[in-house]
Chain A
């Protein structure tokens, strides 16, 4: 399928979202009955107002040149049994007055946990963060991503799971049972697919579809200056593969997201010595369709606690067939933290075609309870050289005002 400058909005089927929402809500109701009255805590979170403008108007497709949203995130933790059991509730509400499909009610976190000296068990919706590199997240396979969010990069969605953690002296062993699959959210221009074809319903390799029970195992350990982790995931790939479906005359008429069954083994390693960090995220992924290696590796140097610079290389064995657009890229970045400012700047340069993506985020706090953030991304190069699923082609400028409570 040849990439096109056309933009199409892809909205996930609404009924499916409702299903996962139902799961979340019923879980919340069920768990809330277990909370004894002694548990007391406060809500904290933020309310944010965001506007984003895309200077580049695609010529042959309708697309919003501007997007706005109000979002509310809140977190509250309840603990009881002397702190050995607790429940975290972290709902998210986002409202885009002009787009129902970008609006969302969800839980970023909704977890019951029990803690023993060497064991922990958690059940609910939660996020898992495995990768150590600054630029990529090749090893993170547990959570689905939401591309319709206002964030500079797609945000993880809460994944239903049961997670058992065991802490012997030989490291940390974790097992995950992931009973329910959540489809990728790509509403809005942030999730635009660069194809003129309409999008069909998702198809699953396994006949159980989104009810296929996925699983993962992970071992991690700190050995001297090294943090090392090895993990294996088996189940439904969170990244869809798109295939054009043809009508009888051979004309392509729609694009179908396919969710394959994969086996992914990953290695993450970080070496930390004084001001230096050396990082590696590597995976080997095998499916019926393809088998490849992808990795992100690089270094970080901290001039002081508050100024760090990064340089990394991103490799994807699929090359231009990759479903991400970071197959042979050089990454460089810097982050500055001061009393009032957080500024980070990142640049990706594609080694083959010199395409370049520059992004900068500058956030300033206003008093103790508010912050203003300006975020911009700028693409320069030939977009036909990018894979179809490359939302990074779209330059934008965004402003966000956040009130914390």
Chain B
């Protein structure tokens, strides 16, 4: 049995060449994908979020979304609600690169802004399975990647990658990501737990190109594999590079007209 021990030791001590290749290949793909999604500066869009339970009963939330990319710092997301009973209410989320997140609620009736608590759950976007990070461009930071090969999603040929979060906060053990080989757009993500059981599936479709370079999906559907619950984000009226600045996302100045 000694030779088995030796082989195991060698496997553990030295990463085999194929593993290195796989990581390097994955890194190449991800760098290219990140390069293509970087620099959107700002965008505004209308969003309808529909949360459905397993038997299809659902409820819609409509809002305007404004997102500002702050170079080297993170992302600011402003949600402006339009449904009658919450019209004019805003939620501002300021996410820093270090993972810290601040959240402010603006109430038009008293014109007041309050900073509210952000727990790990509030990473969740409006109580759905999406996170605030999903509101902007697909974020490729914070993972280690491995290349799994090529595979088709629908009719589209894709790079298939596995990624593991570098910090523990995500709630998933690992994810499998499919990016199309042509434009490096994320078409599908599968989320797994430690027992390699599929928890959730994210599907993105209806990609369109805006301002000549930004690809955005019209629809993002997150399905919970166990409960059958799903959340659909339907995007419309995308508008890029509107010249928004941090002053438009200043928690002290949310009452100004938009």
Contacts and interface: CB of A to CB of B under 8 A. Distances in A.
B115 A109 contact: no
Given A83-B256, A303-B119, A109 B111 contact: yes
A115 B256 contact: yes
A227 B114 CA distance: 10
B117 A127 contact: no
B256 A86 contact: yes
B180 to A, nearest CB: 34
Contact of A305 (B110, B111, B124): B124
A274 B115 CA distance: 11
Given A127-B110, A129-B112, A305-B127, A274 B117 contact: yes
Contact of A404 (B87, B251, B252): B87
A275 B85 contact: no
Given A79-B257, A109-B111, A117-B247, A304 B119 contact: yes
Interface stretch (A231-239, A365-373, A388-396): A365-373
A70 to B, nearest CB: 18
Nearest to B84: A404
A244 interface: no
Given A274-B119, A277-B117, A44 B124 contact: no
A300 B117 contact: yes
A86 B119 contact: no
A132 B84 contact: no
**Size class of the contact patch on chain A:** 35 or more
Contacts of B114: 132
Contacts of B142: none
A77 B256 CA distance: 10
Given A44-B84, A127-B111, A308-B117, A302 B122 contact: yes
A86 B257 CA distance: 7
Interface string A103-130: 0000011000101010010000011010
Contact of B102 (A272, A339, A368): A272
A275 B256 contact: no
Contacts of B112: 127, 129
A302 B111 contact: no
A120 B83 CA distance: 29
A369 B257 contact: no
Nearest to A171: B252
Contact of B88 (A44, A113, A270): A44
Contacts, number: 89
A305 B122 CA distance: 5
Interface residues of B, number: 32
A301 B250 CA distance: 25
A305 B85 CA distance: 19
A75 B117 contact: no
Contact of B121 (A77, A220, A304): A304
A215 interface: no
B141 interface: no
Contacts of B97: none
Interface string B214-258: 000000000000000000000000000000000100111100111
A371 B85 contact: yes
Interface in B57-98: 59, 83-85, 87-88
B84 A369 contact: yes
Nearest to B117: A302
Contacts of B51: 339
A301 B119 CA distance: 9
A368 B127 contact: no
B253 A227 contact: no
Interface in A213-264: 220, 222, 227
A376 interface: no
B117 A275 contact: yes
A308 B117 CA distance: 9
A129 B251 CA distance: 14
Contact of A126 (B84, B102, B111, B257): B111
Contacts of A46: 85
20 contacts: A46-B85, A83-B258, A86-B256, A115-B256, A120-B256, A126-B111, A227-B115, A272-B116, A275-B117, A277-B115, A302-B116, A302-B117, A303-B119, A304-B122, A305-B122, A308-B117, A339-B51, A369-B85, A404-B87, A405-B84
Q: Which 5 A-B pairs have the closest CB atoms?
A: A404-B84, A302-B117, A129-B112, A275-B119, A79-B257
